[in-house]
Amino acid sequence: MSAVGQQEEQLSQSDLSPSSNSSSSFEIIDMDAASLYEPVSPHWFYCKIIDSKETWIPFNAEDSQRLEEAYGSDKDCNGRVVPTDGGRYDVHLGERMRYAVYWDELASEVRRCTWFYKGDKDNKYVPYSESFSQQLEETYMLAVTLDEWKKKLESPNREIIILHNPKLMVHYHLVARSDEWGSIPAEQGRPRTVKRGVENISVDIPCGEPLQIDHLVFVVHGIGPACDLRFRSIVQCVNDFRGVSLNLLQTHFKKAQEQQQIGRVEFLPVNWHSPLHSTGVDVDLRRITLPSINRLRHFTNDTILDVFFYNSPTYCQTIVDTVASEMNRIYKLFLQRNPNFKGGVSIAGHSLGSLILFDLLTNQKDPLEENDSEKVIPRVVLDQGDTLDLEEDLKKLQLSEFCNLFKKEKIDKAALALCTERDLQEMGIPLGPRKKILNYFKNGENIQSVNKQNQQSALGGNLPVLSEKSKDCNSTGGAGNEEYLDISIGQASVKYPRLIYKPDIFFAFGSPIGMFLTVRGLKRIDPNYKLPTCKGFFNIYHPK
């Protein structure tokens, strides 16, 4: 008897349990199908607007795996937050949104991607929605299991996808075609390629970053909202810094990094342009801006005028407050998110940003050597022997009504020279009289300078010094009798905030510090001068 005949005889003798035999045969078919079908491996992407166009960018392999593990542990994902991109972004899984941690940025959509189609213009693959990708995967599984292809699906926007075979799947883009009867949907143009799984599309998945952070660097931008000739933002430029740093680790310290002997350097941007121009000054500028050569004038308002803002005591205070408060805020937030961080902190400034940091660091106080009382650094100091009556000067300014207020606060001319605009404001003196008083009592015609000893006491003796040759240099030995006079290098009435940490190094890129110090009256900095709370200073510039 043949084998086929034996199988038929066995089946005829099993009438008592047909259901079990039937079940067994179906199980054999399922096992065969399972050997042909393999579930797709998902990868997580986020959507970013680049050149006014949506672009889907893959997370690095480590971040995608962490997101997938969080998704697998809780499909609802309500309230689940996963840090990504070295901790600079948080992904809220329930919302499928990605948020920047340290700076303001529009949130990005996040998607668990398994199926893709090729775009129209840039030929980059675009992921389908998660719900439709699931429909595609279920249809694909049936086609593989039953070996029945040419499956047709309709997408949510009524476009047609056809699965011809595992290697040929297409997406027909439907457009409206009008005739005398109205618009008719029709297939048009070459079909788009459809791919299953990220491994089948041409996309560069970035490498992950070491978890260990050895050093933190704050980067402060210069004039304008754009930071380079490509008109990129401070965030994009700082991303380049970080990328170059990671590449150096891979090329020069790969073995040490693999053995976890060294970590990485984290670069974080500090933005002061947006807070400054959100004060309402742009509205005032537009009101006085001439309509001719519109683009040039608005470009000037957004960029070059930042230099004038920094020379204005009012807006300079806004700028230094913003820079200091942002660096303090980001530092505290960074420590909260990285409690094991034991590395140092450095700061870098480009263009006007380097000048802002220089003034800020010059006016810091070492908490180990100074007490916490605020010290005001005036531009000029009154001679202690000056006995002119304060009331007479207020009468000249037609501000006699404030004489009793100054008497009540026991303020004479010497004390007034140490007052800032904020001090006068706290006394209740209106803006107009404040400006008149500060201008009158701090100009060169009305004030005599003090001797060197009094000046060092008033200024703290911890600022760059102006080198001047003695008037009697020819009779006293020429240049050898050189004396240094301490002067203030900051703005006239600016109070510099305190940083909550001591920077290790200050890097200046393309810095105008030398020019501004010269304009302020400095001719030479004492070679022995050091920033009060910063160990080192590197002025980096192109030699040509």
Inter-residue contact 61 to 131 (CB < 8 Å): no
**Residues 224, 191 within the same domain:** no
Same domain, residue pair 354 and 407:
no
Using CB atoms within 10 Å of the CB of residue 134, give its burial: 0 to 12 exposed, 13 to 18 middle, 19+ buried.
middle
Give per-residue pLDDT as tens, 240-284.
999 999 889 888 887 777 777 788 999 999 999 888 887 777 777
Name the residue with higher pLDDT: 210 or 488: 210
Query: How far out from the chain centre does Cα 253 lie?
Result: 27
Q: How far apart are CA 417 and CA 420, in angstroms?
A: 8
What are the structure tokens assigned to 500, written together?
A: 């909550």
Residues 503 and 431 in one domain: no
Give me the phi and psi of 213, to 5 degrees please.
-115, 120
* pLDDT-based confidence at residue 115 (cuts at 50, 70, 90): very high
What pLDDT does 186 receive? 55
| Residue 237 belongs to domain spanning | 213-364+496-540
pLDDT at position 380:
32
Task: Judge if 404 and 323 occupy the same domain.
Answer: no
Query: Residue 27 CA to chain centroid, in angstroms?
Result: 57
Contact call for residues 464 and 292 (beta carbons, < 8 A): no
Confidence check: pLDDT of 409 > 90: no
483, pLDDT greater than 70: no
Provide the annotated active-site residues.
351
Q: Is 453 within the bounds of a domain?
A: no
What's the rounded Cα separation, in Å, for the pair 351 and 541? Answer: 10
Q: What is the arithmetic mean of pLDDT over 208-232?
A: 87
Q: Are residues 224 and 334 in the same domain?
A: yes
Please, are residues 44 and 111 in contact by the beta-carbon 8 Å criterion? yes
Residue 93 has a pLDDT of 93
pLDDT in tens, 19-47: 333 333 333 444 454 567 899 999 999 99
With respect to residue 252, please indicate whether it lies within any of the assigned structural domains: yes
In a domain? residue 342? yes
- As a whole number, the mean pLDDT across the chain is 78
192 and 62 part of one domain: yes
Rounded CA gap, 544 and 540, in Å? 12
- Specify the pLDDT at position 440: 78
Distances (CA, A) of 36 to 26, 144, 153: 16, 7, 22
Banded model confidence at residue 401, pLDDT cuts 50, 70, 90: confident
pLDDT band for position 97 (cuts 50, 70, 90): very high
Per-residue pLDDT band at 179 (split at 50, 70, 90): low
End-to-end CA distance of the chain: 97
Confidence of residue 368 (pLDDT cuts 50, 70, 90): low
Strand locations in 246-327 (E): 264-270
Would you say the pTM of this structure is higher than 0.75? no
User: Is residue 99 scored above 90 in pLDDT?
Assistant: yes
Q: Are residues 523 and 428 in the same domain?
A: no
Residues 65 and 172 in one domain: yes
434 and 353 co-located in one domain:
no
* Rounded distance between C-alpha atoms, residue 488 and residue 490, angstroms: 6
| Rounded percentage of the chain residues whose pLDDT exceeds 70 | 76
425 or 372, which is more confident: 425
Q: Given this model, what pLDDT does residue 6 score?
A: 41
pLDDT tens across 43-83, in order? 999 999 887 888 999 999 999 999 999 998 876 777 899 99
Task: Dump pLDDT digits (tens) for 352-364.
Answer: 999 999 999 999 9
Average pLDDT (390-418) is 81
Mean pLDDT along residues 430-454: 59
In a domain, 351, yes or no: yes
> Do 493 and 363 form a contact (C-beta atoms < 8 A)?
no
Q: How many domains does the chain have?
A: 3
Integer Cα distance of 213 and 87 in angstroms: 11
Q: Is residue 57 in some structural domain?
A: yes
Domain presence at residue 37? no
Mark whether 102 and 232 lie in a shared domain. Answer: no
Boundary (domain end) residue, out of 445, 480, 514: 445
Instruction: Provide the pLDDT for residue 183.
Output: 55
pLDDT in tens, 274-311: 888 877 777 777 777 777 877 777 777 777 888 888 98
Tell me: pLDDT of 10 over 50.
no
Question: What is the CATH classification number for the domain harbouring 400?
Answer: 1.10.150.50
Residue 460 within a domain: no
